[in-house]
Amino acid sequence: MRAFIYTALPVRVIFGRGTISRVADEVRRLGLNRALVLSTPPQADQAGKLSTELAQLSAGVFTHAAMHTPIEITEQALQVAQRSNVDCLIAVGGGSTTGLSKAFALRTDLPQIVVPTTYAGSEATPILGQLEQGQKTTLRDLKVLPEVIIYDIELTLTLPAALSVTSGINAMAHAAEALYSSGANPVTTQLALNGLAALAGALPKIICDPTDGEARSDALYGAWACGTCLGSVGMALHHKLCHVVAGSFDLPHSETHTVILPHALAYNEPAAKEALRPLATMLGAPTAAQGLFDLARKLNAPRSLKELGMTHEALDLATDLAVSNSYPNPRPLDRASIRALLEEALEGRPPGPQAKAAQDQGQESVHA
């Protein structure tokens, strides 16, 4: 066994059916009594219902969480909290609501209880992405890690099949990058493979029957496992590209992850063959990149950035943003290869080697 470092994250996880009924108990366990319930506009009814059930423990609701966590929305929520003497946050929803809760906690250090209704997995990480002046940036800080995550399988039974697929592949991206992360270790590697297997097995079943409780349970567990891996190690090329593309060009979050993942893995696979080999084997494909592209096709998920609204004219700016800062990645980055990767993702072509053109032209590498 090689030497390694593993840091466990301090978060309490409650997993099961009907577990949303335990939210009030968790507020009391934390010694708190003025919770602000957060959600997006489409989940306002769910947030309102939970607020009513919390009775005197609720300080009200804020239902304007938005994709990519815009700074101005966080500032609006802070104003509501200040007027209501809030002492904790309860986020009910997907990555957008969790992002708002994290941004709020970063500024106030208020305790968070997160109740996920999708497979985002971001609730299990100390990572926050925020949108300010058209650019999305990310940071890592334990202040944004929720104190409690309550996974209720029943809340995912009505998640539309198409969103279940893209949300699930987004979660798989967390674990796929954990396999070759500079902080990879035996603990996160095993958890990553476990989470990937759970989602790869569950998503086809959910497409066939969205009410399949066992498949929903496996997918929700997989989302937690994959998110925990990302929270314990670090992000690389895939997440950098997704934050740049989705945040800067206002593309949907999980769909962007779904499209880019096979192409990012194809870029890194030559430098991370051994790390990604178990994923390729699991998916029954010659490479992990091809396996994930085929899985997305089988599940009828989006496979091109063009169908999400990105244009060819945006490629140069997206490329410049992607290589503007160095970050750990198994393979050095160069502009021509990253642009080729993004063009393949834009057109929805099968993933393949991205570096040959740049190597032929003697492009200067941007090292991590």
Query: What are the tens digits of pLDDT across the range 157-207?
Result: 999 999 999 999 999 999 999 999 988 999 999 999 999 999 999 999 999
Q: Give residues with Cβ within 8 angstroms of 351, minimum separation 6.
A: 262, 263, 265, 266, 289, 290, 293, 344
- Token pair of 117 as six digits: 């209704």
| pLDDT at res. 367 | 40
Looking at per-residue pLDDT, the higher value among 291 and 359 belongs to 291
Reported as half-sphere exposure (CB side, CA atoms, 13 A), residue 95 has a value of 28
| pLDDT at res. 364 | 40
Is the model's pLDDT at 362 over the cut of 70? no
| pLDDT digits 0-9 by tens, 127-160 | 998 988 878 888 999 999 999 999 999 999 999 9
| pLDDT digits 0-9 by tens, 1-38 | 778 888 889 999 999 999 999 999 999 999 999 999 99
H helical segments located in the chain: 23-29, 44-54, 71-84, 95-108, 161-180, 186-208, 213-232, 237-249, 253-268, 273-283, 288-298, 315-322, 335-347, 356-360
Contact indicator for 131, 243 with CB cutoff of 8 Å? no
Beta bridge partners of 116: 93
Dihedral, CA of residue 44, residue 45, residue 47 and residue 52, to nearest 10: 140
| pLDDT at res. 352 | 77
Is the model's pLDDT at 357 over the cut of 70? no
| pLDDT digits 0-9 by tens, 299-335 | 999 999 999 999 999 999 999 999 987 788 999 999 9
C-alpha closest to that of 301 among 350, 242, 253, 255: 255
Q: Which CATH number applies to 161-360?
A: 1.20.1090.10
Q: Give residues with Cβ within 8 angstroms of 20, minimum separation 6.
A: 50, 115, 150, 152, 154, 155
| pLDDT digits 0-9 by tens, 244-302 | 888 888 899 899 999 999 999 999 999 999 999 999 999 999 999 999 999 999 999 99
For the chain, residues classed under CATH 1.20.1090.10 are: 161-360
Is the model's pLDDT at 359 over the cut of 90? no
Q: Where are the beta strands (DSSP E) in 109-267?
A: 112-116, 127-132, 135-140, 148-152
Which residue type occupies 187? V
What architecture does CATH give domain 12-156? 3-Layer(aba) Sandwich (3.40)
Residue 29 C-alpha from the chain's centroid: 28
Query: CA geometry: angle at 40 spanning 36 and 45, to 5°?
Result: 75
- Token pair of 65 as six digits: 């969480």
- Token pair of 84 as six digits: 């209501």
Q: Determine the Cα–Cα distance for residues 212 and 278; give it in Å rounded to an integer.
A: 27
| pLDDT at res. 353 | 58
| pLDDT at res. 42 | 95
For the chain, residues classed under CATH 3.40.50.1970 are: 12-156
| pLDDT digits 0-9 by tens, 69-124 | 999 999 999 999 989 999 999 999 999 999 999 999 999 999 999 999 999 899 99
